[in-house]
Chain A
Amino acid sequence: MTEGTENAAATTPSPPAAAATAGAAADGHFETAIAGRHIAKRFGHVQALTDANVTVRAGEVVALFGDNGAGKSTFLKTLIGMIKPDAGEFVVADRPVSFSSIRDAQDAGVECVHQDLALAPDLSVVDNMFLGNEMRHRGVLGRLGVVNRREMTERADAALRELSIKLPSLKVDISALSGGQKQALAVARAVMWGHTAVLMDEPTAALGARQSAIVCDLMRTVAERGLGVLVVSHDLPRVLKVADRVTILWRGVTALEAPAADLTVPDVVATMVGYGRDNAA
């Protein structure tokens, strides 16, 4: 019924799995993949963000660190249009933008791996990978909204294989997968559809050591394709190793932006808890 109007993805053909198959970012060249400047957001009595800043250039992994409640998740949500900030500007692919929905961010090639609730447990792996971006048959069937599961399965399989993610079957419901497999899938999904930037909120929080390592490798792989990667994590040692640059959020304010190579874990922790904040910047 609403098929005709609900198909932004279909009317502006975004090549599915472009990121998974092409060598470089699909949208030509840009320097700044995604940036947020002077972002402020208040929820009732809580000033979640006061002056949050981050810049992620194409081809680099930026780590966003901060204590619990520092505003990291809120910051990511403003970057993808889920939350409208009270103040601040955004840049995506070198252009000033103002997203009013996740859909807008997706259309600009920005995808996010959420801390939780990223997948639909009763849907198969394939349907989850393509949820919101379903591939349709050519011709009349496609116009009726019929999906092409065979092609979706092939692309999903290729995308997962390229990221070294192994699953027992692409046809099983997500609820049959382990926490690690689900997380890997959520990352793969974002990587498949993002062609400008991929944001990740605690992508390794539910994972074992080995799978955390895989996800960290994924970040590098994605960045090497020319996308910007912004990752929120508490796994400081591991993420510090893969990141190019680090942004530290302290009580809703960006307290530090520095190359990862210049920082050690104790430095990061100190800034995270607000220690010596004035000298560090």
Chain B
Amino acid sequence: MSTVMSGRSRRAKAPDDLDPDIRAVAPQSPLRRLFRETGTWILVLDVFLVLLFGALSDNFVFWSQTNVQALMINGTEALLLALGLAMLLGAGAFDLSVGSNLVLSSVLGALTIKGIAGPPDADGNYHNLGVAILLGAVVCIGTGVVYGIVNGILIAYFDINSLIATLGTMGIGTGAALVITQGGDVTSVPSQLQSEFGLASLWGFLPYPALVAIVAAVVLWWLLRYTRYGIRTLALGSERTSAERAGIRVKRHLVSLAAIAGGLAGLAGFVDISRYGSTAVAGHVQDPLVAITAVVIGGTLIEGGKVSIVGVIWGTVLAIVLQTGLIILGFQSFYQLIAIGVVLIVAVGLDRYRVRRRGDR
């Protein structure tokens, strides 16, 4: 202790009303602050890629309304998964099971809708279609929440590393979905679900599913920024012990975050059946890759404490634009995977650099 004191005793000569520790930095201009956010740079990159792919595509089809709408629908599920993941990462926990959760939720939801709606009559109409769809949505989201709670309990109460816990439940979830469908998909979900929601748009432009995802993003942004729940989430990711010592019920809080992430995955499952009119059990293996990439490139710190919802949106846009753009330019679809993988690694490299520069960890 005395060594600490001797190192600093010179400062004791400072005038009494002036704390020598204060080295206030002049506040930065709003524009400077904006460009300190990683998300802003990703937005710039998004705009650049949209211009590039548009200019390179035949007849500028990348800029067509059809393609933009397709981008938005594609982005919806990715955004819902990424948002949930971002909340968990904010508290320092991962979730690799979001894709499996989506699949399992969509299977149970689709079965519910078909079971309640029953077979169509001669005109292709169903009895109880409204109730069937409503309950289907409830089952999707409910399944997602339960899935998330299981993840949360494993992580918080059984103290299992979140990567391992959700890797395990990823296998269990996908396996359970396959057992239920006996290896196939649940098909022929009433097509009204597609025409009235999944492929319908507000004002003929904004797809309803995208609207749902945007509402979810706004709610989470608000939650993080203005509520006690948000403060506690970030405190938990920033320094778990401190949060515990501040009297926060850390375990319960983690479970609630995992439940939110799960509920969003379930919602994405509902969007999935609304788009395709069937489940896509085998189509979501890469979802965690895309979701994690979207979150991390947007400026959310992987060790927790900082979440950028706006960054998640721009990050998702980047992932989706990249995927679609490569297809439109005629690359085979597996090149997307390479591109996303590269982006993820570059993003984490930048993230490391940022943490080193902050210098306190």
Contact = CB atoms under 8 A, between A and B. Distances in A.
Nearest to A135: B228
Contacts of A123: 231, 234-235, 238, 305
B4 A127 contact: no
B83 to A, nearest CB: 15
A30 B115 CA distance: 67
Interface in B228-252: 228-229, 231-232, 234-235, 237-239, 241-249, 252
Interface string B198-239: 000000000000000000000000000011110110110111
B5 interface: yes
Nearest to B145: A1
Contacts of A1: 229, 256, 259-260
B226 A102 contact: no
Interface stretch (B22-30, B117-125, B129-137, B285-293): B22-30
B253 interface: yes
- Interface size for chain A: under 10, 10 to 19, 20 to 34, or 35 or more residues? 35 or more
B59 interface: no
A114 interface: yes
A147 interface: yes
Among B1, B21, B237, which residue has the most Cβ atoms of chain A within 10 A? Answer: B21
Given A121-B238, A144-B227, A209-B9, A131 B246 contact: yes
Given A120-B243, A123-B234, A206 B256 contact: no
B11 interface: yes
Among A131, A147, A181, which residue has the most Cβ atoms of chain B within 10 A? Answer: A131
Contacts of A134: 228, 231
Interface in A104-156: 106, 112, 114, 117-123, 127, 130-134, 136, 144-147
A209 to B, nearest CB: 5
A209 B306 CA distance: 34
A2 B252 contact: yes
Contacts of A146: 226-228
B100 to A, nearest CB: 22
B22 A168 contact: yes
A145 B234 contact: no
Contacts of A166: 19, 22
Interface in A2-26: 2-3, 6-7
B31 interface: no
B179 interface: no
Contacts of B32: none
Interface string B1-41: 10011011101101000011111110000000000000000
A41 to B, nearest CB: 19
B4 A2 contact: no
B356 interface: no
B253 A131 contact: no
Nearest to B25: A168
Contact of A117 (B21, B229, B245): B245
Nearest to A206: B4
Interface string B138-160: 00000000000000000000000
A212 B5 contact: yes
A100 interface: no
Nearest to A1: B256
Interface in A209-255: 209-212, 234-235
A208 interface: yes
Nearest to B360: A175
A106 B249 CA distance: 13
B227 A117 contact: no
A199 to B, nearest CB: 12
B245 A210 contact: no
A118 B242 contact: yes
A37 interface: no
Given A134-B228, A147-B227, A208-B11, A120 B239 contact: yes
A180 B19 CA distance: 11
Nearest to A207: B4
A114 B246 CA distance: 11
Contacts of A167: 22
A178 interface: yes
B1 A234 contact: yes
A280 interface: no
B227 A122 contact: no
A216 B245 CA distance: 23
Given A131-B242, A210-B8, 4 more contacts: A1-B259, A101-B247, A133-B247, A212-B5
Interface of A: 1-3, 6-7, 82, 101-103, 106, 112, 114, 117-123, 127, 130-134, 136, 144-147, 166-169, 175, 178, 180-181, 204-212, 234-235
Interface of B: 1, 4-5, 7-9, 11-12, 14, 19-25, 226-229, 231-232, 234-235, 237-239, 241-249, 252-253, 256, 259-260, 301, 304-306, 358, 360
Nearest 7 CB-CB pairings of A with B: A208-B8, A122-B305, A168-B24, A132-B246, A122-B238, A120-B238, A145-B227
